[in-house]
Amino acid sequence: MPKNAFYAQSGGVTAVINASAAGVIETARQHPDAIGKVYAGRDGIIGALTENLIDTSQESPAAIAALKHTPAGAFGSCRYKLKGFEQNRAEYERLIEVFRAHDIGYFFYNGGGDSADTCLKVSQLGAQMGYPLQAIHVPKTMDNDLPLTDCCPGFGSVAKYTAVSIREASFDLASMCASSTKVFILEVMGRHAGWTAAAGGLASVDGQDPHILLFPEVAFDQARFLARVQQCVDTHGYCTIVASEGLRNAAGEFVADAGSKDAFGHTQLGGVASTLAQIIKAELGLKYHYAVADYLMRAARHIAAKTDLEQAYAVGRAAVEAAVAGKSGIMMSIVRESDSPYRWHIGEAPLDQVANVEKTMPPEFISEDGFHITQACRDYMLPLIAGEDAPPYGPDGLPAYVRLKNVPVEKKTGREFALR
Amino acid sequence: MPKNAFYAQSGGVTAVINASAAGVIETARQHPDAIGKVYAGRDGIIGALTENLIDTSQESPAAIAALKHTPAGAFGSCRYKLKGFEQNRAEYERLIEVFRAHDIGYFFYNGGGDSADTCLKVSQLGAQMGYPLQAIHVPKTMDNDLPLTDCCPGFGSVAKYTAVSIREASFDLASMCASSTKVFILEVMGRHAGWTAAAGGLASVDGQDPHILLFPEVAFDQARFLARVQQCVDTHGYCTIVASEGLRNAAGEFVADAGSKDAFGHTQLGGVASTLAQIIKAELGLKYHYAVADYLMRAARHIAAKTDLEQAYAVGRAAVEAAVAGKSGIMMSIVRESDSPYRWHIGEAPLDQVANVEKTMPPEFISEDGFHITQACRDYMLPLIAGEDAPPYGPDGLPAYVRLKNVPVEKKTGREFALR
């Protein structure tokens, strides 16, 4: 009997992580001699620890195919990082107990940097704890911050969302600025790196809007920023801005926090966009509007990038093929062959070099004045937002996203496990 | 020589107002015996007052056709309401001066309620001030608040944006709620009426998410709201909410303002979503996220509703046909024939019954508990978000929106006019 496989989604979900799930499940179904059933963890690795497994073999081929056009995590995801072997041996022993009970020999983990660390530890279960299995990491993160891969599945789609949204808002401002709003700020996710804000720059052609991008990598200088805003309004009649939520000042404080404490020292709610808007209103007297994209951007399957979708599927497929070929302890990666025409293939990277390494924007991607992206960044990023792949829409005018049956696998360990 | 036409965009722009412009211009071109050139006002009626006219005959048929897939106002819009004849006679005399100089006999005004009032006054120039012209209103407003029309072009597309966005965010929450965010709030535009928030309810099927809609029409009751949020989290694991920016408490105060003053009485920035989030965190201790759609929703041509687009074009076309047939002082309207199958045709409404009347949500569209929409509302609204009509995308992965040449018409009055 071939061993079963365990698949789990981890960390913040994306518009295309389910395409990776489809890649894993469809490919595993093509290898019945090597892989038995694919069990998915309900709510990620938590599902393995609590023995809440989902039997994906109960889902029809059509339902699994529909994952390719369904955002978010169909089996549930979680933020839960395994500690080291020495710090919480009980967790690893529990994993082995569950995996043994369900005859699991393959571990496919679909996540970002923290998850790569977990996947690495699981790949070492054989050497460390006498339960060998093949662990392969399927990369996913809208933050685009994994090393040893040209890009991360999930990023291209948030990048496309950002570029499309700020282009549309810029058209709006251009229409109205003569008598109404002069400044518009789009706040995007990204605590540590400016990849997503950078994507807004793709909408700018020949120096057109958006006019200003604000990255966590560049210390916020209020005077320089205000001068640039005023200059844009003087020149173009308006100014559109994409700001990373993680923008910091020279002291390293989040701009969203700085200066927004009340008289008792309580931090006020409100993100970077509302803070910047307040500054612009107070110092320049300009009428503003702002939007906060938040989860809308990472869930926006309706405007996903085709390239991103193909890569998300491909890393899932390749992970299974690598496992069937006997590999373990690796992350599937995207290897770029050329920018234009854009060519790529799937490669692999050793997990011990991936885990806990964060890739920020290279300095050569940020313009000298710190307010925009360079041509090198455009060359890198444009292929990643290329192509459209709209989901099917129902007669109700809404995307027909699938909800799986998620049939539970009968528990076998006869034991509960308390999460820490 | 046939008379020329003046066309202007007014008020907040939408994803489909340019489709109305295309309807006007393309139809006028089909009637060369009746209509000379179509001059557009640069930045709306301001362009008429300042004699900044745009010669749309300089635009190619392809460029005019591309307006159908381009959001916002291609000629610029403005917020500028003409006063009464007695209060500012100089403005009307100036309009007549400019219209006479450019031989304008038709006035097509593309806007909402305030604009209908302006259009009405212009239609009375003949009787009041001896300069007869035919004035026809082309309805447009994302707020859906015009009377005597079943719906307003521009609304269907923001409705679709809202429903798609909250469905996608709800999938995200469902994935993550086991270990992360429990409550998500989407803040939508709508100061006076809850039409846009109601549209979020279209994503809810059989009582599924979004769980709560908050309308300006229903006084906000914090205790009842918190109880419902907790109930949703207990039942479903999470709670998704669509909130109108114009939500008010029983005292009629905006929730976005109430309780967000600092110790000095300064009003803090931040809209209704951040205020609600703060309340939820403080009272229920639940992890939240929120998004603010703002202009993104009204500019989102990439997800426009096909029905909306067709109606926007149709009212522009019909306005010109009505003018050619000798009519004046009317607004083109959408007349619903049936819900299912959805059938409609273009009608007309007398402008004096349209101007300055605001249509709010009928009580029978709001569920008894005040937190959702009724079946009657769904029956009304679902046809309006039906169908997709994606814009063409360029090789850069971005929508190929058109920027017109906007060639100015030579000035003839020899006189400046100072706006008040």
At B309-340, the pLDDT tens digits run 999 999 999 999 999 999 999 999 999 999 99
Cα A374 → chain centroid: 23
Q: Is A352 a catalytic residue?
A: no
Distance (Å, whole) CA B247 – CA B215: 6
pLDDT for B266:
47
What is the mean predicted confidence (pLDDT) over B180-209?
Answer: 94
**What is the residue whose two structure tokens read 């301001």?**
B46
pLDDT for A333:
98
Please indicate whether, in this complex, the C-beta atoms of B300 and A396 are within 8 angstroms of each other. Answer: no
Given a cut of 90, whether residue A83 has pLDDT beyond it is no
Please indicate whether, in this complex, the C-beta atoms of B396 and A390 are within 8 angstroms of each other. Answer: no
Please indicate whether, in this complex, the C-beta atoms of A295 and B173 are within 8 angstroms of each other. Answer: yes
Strand, coil or helix: what is B167? helix
Nearest to A245 by CA among A256, A257, A229: A256
**Amino acid (1-letter code) at residue A336:** R
What is the mean predicted confidence (pLDDT) over B87-104?
Answer: 95
Of B176, B290, B398, which is closest to A294 when you measure between CB atoms? B290
Given a cut of 60, whether residue A71 has pLDDT beyond it is yes
Instruction: Spell out the domains of chain A, with CATH numbers in brackets.
Output: 3-141+303-356 (3.40.50.450), 155-299 (3.40.50.460)
Cβ pair B153, B111 in contact under 8 A: no
Q: What are the chain A neighbours of B80 within 8 Å (beta carbons)?
A: 179
In this structure, what token pair is assigned to residue A269?
Answer: 């709610």
What is the mean predicted confidence (pLDDT) over B93-102?
Answer: 97
- Count Cβ neighbours within 10 Å for each residue of A276-315 and write b for 16 or more, e otherwise: bbbbbeeebebbbbbbbbbbbbbbbbbbbbbbbbbbbbbb
Phi, psi of A5 (to 5 degrees): -120, 150
Distance (Å, whole) CA A272 – CA B320: 47
The answer, for A258 touching chain B at a CB cutoff of 8 Å, is: no
Distance (Å, whole) CA A73 – CA A16: 9
pLDDT for B83:
86
Q: Which residues of B are catalytic?
A: 143
Give how far B244 is from chain A: nearest CA, Å: 14
Cβ pair A348, A322 in contact under 8 A: yes
Tell me the pLDDT of chain B averaged across its residues.
Answer: 94
Cα A165 → chain centroid: 18
Residue B262 banded pLDDT, cuts 50, 70, 90: very low
B248 pairs with which residues across the strands?
A: B254
pLDDT for A81:
86
Chain A residue closest to B76 (CA)? A175
At A268-284, the pLDDT tens digits run 445 899 999 989 999 99
B 214-253 → A contacts, CB under 8 A:
none
Share of chain B above pLDDT 70, in %: 97
Distance (Å, whole) CA A270 – CA B268: 9
pLDDT for A356:
79
B186 pairs with which residues across the strands?
A: B242, B291
Contacts of B10 (CB under 8 A, 6+ apart): B44, B45, B77, B78, B79, B80, B109, B110, B111, B112, B114, B115, B118, B140
Please indicate whether, in this complex, the C-beta atoms of A9 and B175 are within 8 angstroms of each other. Answer: yes
pLDDT for B84:
86
Tell me the pLDDT of chain A averaged across its residues.
Answer: 94
Distance (Å, whole) CA B346 – CA B318: 7
Dihedral (C-alpha) B131, B134, B139, B145: value to the nearest 10 degrees? 60
Distance (Å, whole) CA A262 – CA A264: 5
Distance (Å, whole) CA B22 – CA B69: 10
Distance (Å, whole) CA A278 – CA A332: 44
pTM exceeds 0.90, yes or no: yes
pLDDT for A270:
56
Measure the CA angle with vertex B267, ends B262 and B271; round to 5°: 115
**Amino acid (1-letter code) at residue B201:** G
Query: What one-character-per-residue DSSP string does A68-114 give?
Result: GG--S-TT---------TTT-HHHHHHHHHHHHHTTEEEEEEEESHH
Share of chain A above pLDDT 90, in %: 86
Distance (Å, whole) CA B373 – CA B376: 8
What is the mean predicted confidence (pLDDT) over A213-226?
Answer: 97
At A277-318, the pLDDT tens digits run 989 999 999 999 999 999 999 999 999 999 999 999 999 999
Selected for mutation to probe chain A from B171, B279, B379 (highest A CB count within 10 Å) is B171
Q: Can you give the length of chain A in residues?
A: 420
Residue B270 banded pLDDT, cuts 50, 70, 90: low
Tally: H helices and E strands in chain A = 14, 11
What is the mean predicted confidence (pLDDT) over A143-171?
Answer: 97
pLDDT for A372:
98
Nearest to A14 by CA among A138, A117, A136, A153: A153
Assembly ipTM: 0.97
Helix, strand, coil shares of chain B, percent, nearest 5, are 40, 20, 40
Between A207 and B106, the more confident residue is B106
Integer CA distances (angstroms), B74 to B19, B29, B71, in order: 10, 18, 8
**Amino acid (1-letter code) at residue A44:** G
Contacts of B23 (CB under 8 A, 6+ apart): B138, B312, B313, B314, B315, B316, B317, B318, B319, B320
Cβ pair A419, A91 in contact under 8 A: no
Distance (Å, whole) CA A246 – CA A50: 34
**Amino acid (1-letter code) at residue A106:** Y
Strand, coil or helix: what is A228? helix
The answer, for A322 touching chain B at a CB cutoff of 8 Å, is: no
Chain B residue closest to A157 (CA)? B397
Q: What are the chain B neighbours of A176 within 8 Å (beta carbons)?
A: 12-13, 72-73, 76-79
Please indicate whether, in this complex, the C-beta atoms of A386 and B397 are within 8 angstroms of each other. Answer: yes
Cβ pair A215, A377 in contact under 8 A: no
In this structure, what token pair is assigned to residue A275?
Answer: 């803070």
Distance (Å, whole) CA B63 – CA B40: 15
At A321-339, the pLDDT tens digits run 999 999 999 999 999 999 9
Selected for mutation to probe chain A from B13, B17, B172 (highest A CB count within 10 Å) is B172
Given a cut of 60, whether residue A46 has pLDDT beyond it is yes
What is the mean predicted confidence (pLDDT) over A173-180?
Answer: 95
Sheet with B330-338, side-by-side order of all strands? B53-55, B35-41, B3-9, B104-111, B134-139, B330-338, B343-350
At A108-150, the pLDDT tens digits run 999 998 899 999 999 998 888 899 899 999 999 999 999 999 9
- Count Cβ neighbours within 10 Å for each residue of A404-418 and write b for 16 or more, e otherwise: bebeebeeeeeeebe
